[in-house]
């Protein structure tokens, strides 16, 4: 079966610096893939190349068989993207953000009105009328995820969605991710919170632009005889730094 996302030898250089170094992986339909690594590992750069937001130096990306360079508009139409810092307009209210992004996505008026009603129900009373900058991180996260899902995309790409939120909010967020998987979404989520890896069907570990591991969390822990994802992470990072 053809993968939903097919990344092959993907490379991005900025002058003499290689931010992403010949990275290859696949994401299959209905999977939750956790993309792990410290800040600066190259995760966000990889995501931006998948989405056609950043030029590819070498290698290729195909999403549902579409080329990320030549067919990025068609890819955008089937992909929901939640970027770091939630990519909302802080001086607009939650309602205004929903209205703006729904308009950009071309949602019909009836659908947009329904989305405005839904976001008001998801937030505490009156919160949808408040500026996003005044909302707690967990509520901003809720609005950002909602916005990324408004066009009902087949694929969801989340870049550090749980950064800066408390453990309980993180747990509830992953409950939402599981529900989206059950609804048929394919999900690629980046994180530097190592404990989140075991929520995923597969995890990728990236460091200094290189993909070091790709596999099911349980299988990787067993094959490396590691007691935890953190121990596994330290092991592969140390090996990478000595080579």
Terminal Cα-to-Cα distance of the chain (whole angstroms): 35
The pLDDT tens digits of the residues spanning 39-82 come to: 889 999 999 999 999 999 999 999 999 999 999 999 999 999 99
The pLDDT tens digits of the residues spanning 87-146 come to: 789 999 999 999 999 998 889 999 999 999 999 999 999 999 999 999 988 888 889 999
67 dihedral zone (left: phi>0; alpha: psi -120 to 50; beta)? beta
d(CA 151, CA 101): 10
d(CA 43, CA 20): 8
> pTM for the full model?
0.90
Q: Domains of the chain by range and CATH?
A: 28-78+153-243 (3.40.50.300), 89-152 (no CATH)
**Can you read off the two tokens belonging to residue 232?**
């596994």
């Amino acid at each position: 079966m053809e993968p939903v996302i097919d990344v092959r030898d993907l490379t991005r250089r900025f002058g003499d610096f290689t931010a992403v170094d010949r990275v290859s992986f696949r994401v299959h339909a209905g999977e939750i893939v956790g993309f792990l690594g410290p800040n600066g590992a190259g995760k966000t750069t990889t995501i931006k190349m998948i989405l056609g937001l950043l030029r590819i130096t070498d290698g290729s990306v195909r999403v549902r068989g579409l080329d990320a360079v030549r067919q990025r508009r068609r890819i955008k139409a089937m992909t929901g993207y939640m970027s770091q810092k939630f990519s909302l307009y802080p001086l607009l209210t939650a309602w205004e953000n929903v209205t703006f992004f729904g308009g950009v996505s071309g949602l019909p008026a009836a659908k947009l009105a329904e989305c405005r009603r839904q976001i008001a129900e998801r937030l505490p009373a009156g919160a949808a009328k408040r500026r996003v900058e005044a909302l707690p991180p967990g509520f901003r996260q809720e609005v950002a995820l909602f916005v990324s899902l408004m066009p009902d995309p087949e694929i969801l790409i989340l870049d550090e969605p749980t950064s800066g939120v408390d453990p309980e909010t993180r747990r509830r967020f992953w409950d939402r991710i599981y529900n989206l998987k059950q609804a048929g979404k394919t999900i690629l989520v980046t994180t530097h919170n190592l404990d989140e890896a075991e929520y995923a069907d597969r995890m990728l570990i990236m460091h200094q632009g290189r993909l070091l591991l790709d596999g099911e969390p349980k299988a990787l822990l067993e094959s490396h005889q590691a007691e935890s994802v953190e121990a596994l992470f330290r092991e592969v990072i140390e090996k990478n730094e000595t080579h």
